[in-house]
């Protein structure tokens, strides 16, 4: 966390992000084992970029959000005039 009280650069990783990243890592391992190490490394880098973007979008807000920050009364039902 930043010492100046600012916003953190990265947040926690969403567990659903792993549904996309773990198969990428598996495919990269198969590619590296199959003799295509450069393609496997590119796939691993793509997975790392996905994790970084997900962590960046899930960073905490720099301020507290009030639970009920608006006063909204729904409109009352009206009779239809035909």
pLDDT at 1 over 50: no
Confidence at residue 5, expressed as pLDDT on a 0 to 100 scale: 58
Q: Which helix (H) or strand (E) holds 38?
A: helix 37-57
Closest CA to 21 of 29, 11, 33, 9: 29
Residues 6+ apart with CB under 8 A from 58: 11, 12, 13, 14
Token code pair at residue 22: 């773990």
Residues 26 and 63 sit within 8 Å (Cβ to Cβ): no
Express each pLDDT in 12-69 by its tens digit. 888 899 899 999 999 999 999 999 999 999 999 999 999 999 988 887 777 766 666 5
Residues 6+ apart with CB under 8 A from 30: 40
Cβ count near 54 (within 10 Å): 19
Token code pair at residue 9: 């650069």
């Amino acid at each position: 966390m930043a010492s100046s009280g600012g916003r953190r650069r990265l947040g926690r990783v969403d567990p659903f992000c792993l549904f996309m990243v773990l198969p990428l890592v598996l495919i990269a391992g198969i590619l590296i084992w199959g003799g295509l190490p450069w393609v496997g490394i590119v796939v691993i880098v793509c997975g790392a970029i996905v994790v970084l973007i997900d962590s960046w979008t899930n960073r905490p807000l720099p301020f507290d959000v009030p639970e009920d920050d608006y006063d909204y009364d729904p409109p009352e039902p009206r009779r239809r005039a035909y």
